[in-house]
Amino acid sequence: MASQKEVKRYLAYWFQLGKKVIVGNSAEALLPEYVIVGDRYSDEFEECWRKITSQNSGDCHLEGTHETIAELLTPNWEMFPCARCTMPVPVRNVGMPAELCPCNDLSGWPNMEVPLPRNPVSSQGQLKTIRDRLLENEHSSNG
């Protein structure tokens, strides 16, 4: 089952490549300008997430796909890397897989010469991990 965190990550990655979420009850398309701010998702992204998961929004789906976000949050779906571009894609854990990867209609993708979409990263957390690893190596070499 795809967790809420995995589906949120899926949308964040595709938003970073310019894919929109189509809101079911209207012709509205959501695409936050900023997805990540420092070590967290942007307020704009979080607002999109709230709107997408709201009961009032109806069936929302990522542009170029047929699966609704609500469907992806059911036990029938899991997230795996696309075989072509390694971006997260939904895969049914029972039955037929999703018809298309959202990368299907992105010209020039995958492009390994540009930074890939990513999760928010805590610089302080990363630096602490590096420090702890260095301290651990120092202690093991002195012992």
Domain positions in the chain are 4-142
* pTM beyond 0.75: no
pLDDT (tens, 9 = 90+) of the chain, 143 residues, equals: 679 999 999 999 999 999 999 998 677 899 999 999 988 999 999 999 999 999 888 899 999 888 999 999 998 899 998 888 888 989 888 766 566 677 778 888 888 788 778 778 778 888 888 888 888 887 777 76
In the prediction, which pLDDT does 96 show? Answer: 62
In the prediction, which pLDDT does 108 show? Answer: 82
- Which amino acid is it at 125? G
CB distance 115 to 108 below 8 Å = no
In the prediction, which pLDDT does 72 show? Answer: 93
